Amino acid sequence: MIVPIFQGTITKGQLRAGADYHKWLSTLDGQAVEIVVRKKRKQRSIQENRYYRGVVVPFFAEFTGYDNEEAHLALRQRFLSTTDDHGFMRIRSTTELSTIEFEEYMTKCRKLGDELGFYVPAPNEIDY
């Protein structure tokens, strides 16, 4: 079943959502439901994704001899890996990152390029 995602605001502890949300709720009358409420994150722009996939990843792929997906995974492993309390490693997806976290990630990638001896241009330094 496809489950829609609705936008709303919280005002004085009350959820305010549009008519579509209330219409959807009426279709679930009498059923047990799950409720998830989280702050809305600003999504990355298409330009940010194009820069990462079209500049950052290919520069690392060329340097390492990896293909683009291998280079992307290597960068994620390097900068987005965490270990849980049980010792299991988890590699975060770049889609999970906020816009601020994503910019910090790309800054780390550019700095790594410098450390390895090649230059990764900043977004304003290249036409992609």
| Domain annotation covers residue 35 | no
Single out the residue of 96, 67, 64 nearest to residue 81, CA to CA: 96
Structure tokens at 69: 């997906």
Q: How far apart are CA 58 and CA 50, in angstroms?
A: 11
CB neighbours of 82 closer than 8 A, spacing ≥ 6?
89, 90, 92
Q: In this predicted structure, what is the pLDDT of residue 2? A: 80
Structure tokens at 92: 């975060």
| Domain annotation covers residue 81 | yes
Single out the residue of 119, 79, 78 nearest to residue 103, CA to CA: 79
Q: In this predicted structure, what is the pLDDT of residue 41? A: 72
- pLDDT < 50 stretches in the chain: none
Q: Residue 116's domain spans which residues? A: 46-125
| Domain annotation covers residue 28 | no
* Residue 105: exposure state from Cβ atoms within 10 A (0-12, 13-18, ≥19): buried
Q: In this predicted structure, what is the pLDDT of residue 34? A: 87
| Domain annotation covers residue 14 | no
Q: In this predicted structure, what is the pLDDT of residue 128? A: 64
Structure tokens at 52: 């990462």
pTM recorded for the entire structure: 0.68
